[in-house]
Amino acid sequence: MVELSRSQDYEIGDGTTGVVVMAGALLEQAECQLDRGIHPIRIAEGYEMAYRVAVGNLERISQKFEFDVNNYEPLVQTCMSTLSSKIVNRCNRSLAEIAVKAVLTVADLERRDVNLNLIEVEGKIGGTWRTLSLYMEYWLAKI
């Protein structure tokens, strides 16, 4: 479970609690099936089938997300929605704009790839969101 949480944090940067809770629930159900005498391979096959159904449903209900580099408002809105679950409500919009600018700065839009290792977030004692914004604008101007 620890490795699962680390992997989730490394790949996505969020959702570590959710992925551990989900894995725990899946393991709990697998244990119930084992107690009923169901072979582990059958349980794994059932999870694989459920995975395929879930992915199929997600693909069916998903919507294509188009954006223009010159109009990144849809990305800011998406980022604000994501940040709304965090403790940043007071400066949600400005932080979302900074995050979108940072990602677009390092994104390879042709390959549809973002190397998040190129974005570094450091906490500074006494800093404010305005400082972060100015710092970001300074580095963007240098590029």
Q: pLDDT tens digit string along 57-86?
A: 999 999 887 777 788 898 998 888 877 766
Token pair of 42 as six digits = 């059958």
Between 40 and 90, the more confident residue is 40
- Look at the pTM and tell me if it is higher than 0.95: no
Check pLDDT > 80 for residue 14.
no
> For 22-31, 47-56, 78-87, which range has the lowest pLDDT when averaged over its residues?
78-87
